Amino acid sequence: MKAKIIEILPDFSEKITNAFRNLKRTELSDQFTTLELDYWTYDAEVQAIYIYLCGHRPLNIAEKNIIRIIHDECIEFSELDGIVVADIDNLGRISGIEVINRPDITEQLSKVQSPIRY
C-alpha cells in the first residue's frame, strides 16, 4: 500500500499546498493532499530528487486514447528552500515534484522507500 505524500513529508507538503494557494491554484493544492508517493529518483552528483506521484483519478477512454497525457506546465516555488518545481500534465494533474539541494527531503523519503539512483 502506498503512503500519501502529505504523511511522508508533512512540513514540506504544507509549504507546497500553501504555495499553490498563493498562486491561486487551489485545484492543485487540493489535489496534492490526495496524492501518494509512487517512487522517487535521486542523483547524488547534483543532489536532485524527483518524486513521482500517483493516486490521480482514473483516466476515461477519451483521455487515454485520444487526448493522451503530455507535460504541460512547470511551477517553480521560489519561496521554498532549495529548488522546488512541480510538473503538471495537460489534464491538470500533478505528475511529480523536482527538488534540488534539500538533503532533509532525501532523508525523510529514504525512511519510507529506497530511491532509484542514477
For 54, the domain range is 5-117
If DSSP states are collapsed to H, E and C, what string results for 15-77?
Answer: HHHHHHHHCCCHHHHHHHCCCEEEEEEEECCCCEEEEEEECCCCCCHHHHHHHCCCEEEEEEC
Model's pTM, two decimal places?
0.92
Using 50, 70 and 90 to split pLDDT, how confident is the model at 1?
Answer: low
Structural domains of the chain, count: 1
Which whole number is the average pLDDT over 14-18?
Answer: 98
The predicted-structure confidence for 25-67, as pLDDT tens digits, reads as follows 999 999 999 999 999 999 999 999 999 999 988 888 898 888 8
